[in-house]
Structure 1
Amino acid sequence: MAPLLQSSQPWVEKYRPRQVKDVAHQDEVVRVLTHTLETANCPHMLFYGPPGTGKTTTALAIAHQLFGPELYKSRVLELNASDDRGINVVRTKIKNFAAVAVGYARQGGYPCPPYKIIILDEADSMTEDAQNALRRTMETYSKVTRFFFICNYISRIIEPLVSRCAKFRFKPLTEEIMSSRVIYICKEEGLDLDSEALSTLSSISQGDLRRAITYLQVIPAEVVRALFSACKSGNFDLADIEVKNVIAEGYPVSQMLSQLYDVIVEADDISDEQKARICKKFAVADKCLADGAEEYLQLLDVASNIMRAIHNMPQQFSFGN
């Protein structure tokens, strides 16, 4: 069992690469961008690919390597999925930031080129009208502002924007790459993760390193694996797998259930009918938790239903709300 350690900083941020060369498994992207940073003459860029593969990390690293900590705030505008990025924002906030010219200001050994950067994370969620308005802003202020678009689906970006950008595709991370990064974080945080737990974590993360690191910090993967194994064996005892301790430390049951759901779906030794019965219970538990039900009872309810579904035991009772 790994020690349950709370951290004041999310590990996703704590262990985020600070330089482009440290981004994992994107060799071609890193090679091209490293050369671009040497000249400090960046074009508009479009980063696309599956989540958790380093797109946002790369964009932020480029901006930090160009401007350094002192000029970063004045030269870089970040807009993510939580911001309103409709046509009005494009016409006001983005346009006003893009219109202001800047000059060379070499500080602390950073290149500090005479342009600013606007980073638009999850750009594929922008409306078509907003993207069209953004195209005109790019045309007008391209000499003083560079745009970095980040998205999962390039097909949702209008062609006029795509054609104006250098495109970089980010590949899903291999299990080997993810495992090596997780092992490094475990060593830094003093966690003891066995090989089976590591394999489970890599499997349910499906190439998303951000997801794997989040799972690692929120719920030790071996807890989820042990819970599933206990249900399969029919020898279900929460005390033996220390789930009570996990809850006592403040880890959300909803996150544990989310990870357990992934394990169930990926399991090869459970029939589709059994998975359907179990997933129905997950839906009920999720609704109960949203309505304020007691977390520990919902976890008991889900686990007992998993055990009954796997061993074809009759339904006896449910904790419900």
Structure 2
Amino acid sequence: MSEADAEDGGAAPGREVWIEKYRPETLDDVSGHEDIVSRLRSYIERNDLPHLLFAGPAGVGKTTCAVAIAREIYGDDWRTNFLELNASDQRGIDVVRDRIKNFARSSFGGYDYRVIFLDEADSLTDDAQSALRRTMEQFSDNTRFILSCNYSSKIIDPIQSRCAVFRFSPLSDEAVEEQVRKIAGIEGIELTDDGLDALVYAANGDMRRAINSLQAAATTGEVVDEEAVYQITATARPEEIEAMVEDALEGDFSKSRATLDTLLTETGMAGGDVIDQLHRSVWDFGLTDREAVRLMERIGEADYRITEGANEQVQLEALLASLALDSEE
């Protein structure tokens, strides 16, 4: 965190976007990925940066690491030597052929190479990826590519084999908690312990979501507590999810369905969010192995059907109904 950030502490919540205000500017500031940072730093120190492929879920530091690399290599000149493209918006072959090639061809003042960062590269079509592979070969002398994606399996093998692959895992609860505490202290926010626990739970390893939720909750009142966090993030409390499942397993379908209806209509959760929280919490419910396996099977089936376009509420009620019916056997 920069000194300027600290001096700005106490500004009214919402005046700035905190995920940008507190985005780490150097690799040393990146939280929770010590091994990855160590390897990246060794490339920079040896001036031997290969093409890189960053794979992992959202909000864990992929873009931050790419920008930090450019800052450390080029210093104040990083903006003129770093091209950032979002492949989900510009996913056709023309983007690869035109914008990337034009940047790769252009002159660069006193540096061995320039860096092209392609975010969400798994959104590129196969033709565009093939064109990208050829571009990586053609301009390998003066250009380094950093590709970012959620699923490395969607990147064609010829590109993967040309890159050093870094797999970013969800951030640990400790890393998220430390950063949230630090930001709350700088901004002068009263953050309760249960509010902090709720932020960490709702984030589920996503630092960006944790910081956004903290900023949003800070605008609703003087104290950021558990109630404010769950309300602003439209997240169910773990105990609500647990009670819903336990009621179904005990055969009380009506009570279980009522809890589900509250989550969908009053809390405002989407069906996919309920599925995600169920999946996260299966092993925290204290279920027997048989019950846990049965629940996982039902969750997988409901998730697939919802993904394919089925009605969310119908599928979730069917999930609870199947658990209730199994309890009678």
Residues 123-172 of structure 1: per-residue CA shift (max 9 Å, x gap): 11111111111111111001111000011111111111110001111121
Residues 1-321 of structure 1: pairs in structure 2 closer than 5 A: 5-69=12-76, 71-80=77-86, 83-102=89-108, 104=110, 113-220=111-218, 225-226=226-227, 256=231, 259-263=233-237, 267-271=241-245, 272-281=256-265
Amino acid at match of 2:105: A
**Contact 1:90–1:130 (CA under 8 A) maintained in structure 2:** yes
Change (3 A) 1:43 1:283: same
**Contact 2:88–2:124 (CA under 8 A) maintained in structure 1:** no
**Contact 2:190–2:224 (CA under 8 A) maintained in structure 1:** no
Residue 58 of structure 1: how far off its partner (Å): 0.4
| Aligned equivalents of 1:64, 1:124: Cα separation in 2 | 25
Residue 224 of structure 1: how far off its partner (Å): 7.5
Change (3 A) 1:16 1:137: same
Residues paired across the two proteins, number: 248
| Aligned equivalents of 2:125, 2:240: Cα separation in 1 | 35
Change (3 A) 1:154 1:196: same
Q: CA RMSD in A?
A: 2.7
| Aligned equivalents of 1:266, 1:95: Cα separation in 2 | 53
Between the two proteins, what is the percent identity of the paired residues? 42
**Contact 1:115–1:143 (CA under 8 A) maintained in structure 2:** yes
Residues 79-129 of structure 1: per-residue CA shift (max 9 Å, x gap): 12563231111111111111234352xxxxxxxx31111001111111111
Q: Secondary structure at the match of 2:112?
A: coil
Residues 206-254 of structure 1: per-residue CA shift (max 9 Å, x gap): 010111001111124976832699xxxxxxxxxxxxxxxxxxxxxxxxx
**Contact 1:49–1:170 (CA under 8 A) maintained in structure 2:** yes
Q: Secondary structure at the match of 1:269?
A: helix
Amino acid at match of 1:65: E
Residue 202 of structure 1: how far off its partner (Å): 0.4
Change (3 A) 1:141 1:275: farther
User: TM-score, normalization: structure 1?
Assistant: 0.70
**Contact 2:122–2:150 (CA under 8 A) maintained in structure 1:** yes
**Contact 1:101–1:115 (CA under 8 A) maintained in structure 2:** no
The runs of 5 or more residues in structure 1 that have no matched partner are: 105-112, 230-255, 287-321
**Contact 1:204–1:266 (CA under 8 A) maintained in structure 2:** no
Change (3 A) 1:228 1:101: closer
The runs of 5 or more residues in structure 2 that have no matched partner are: 1-9, 246-255, 271-329
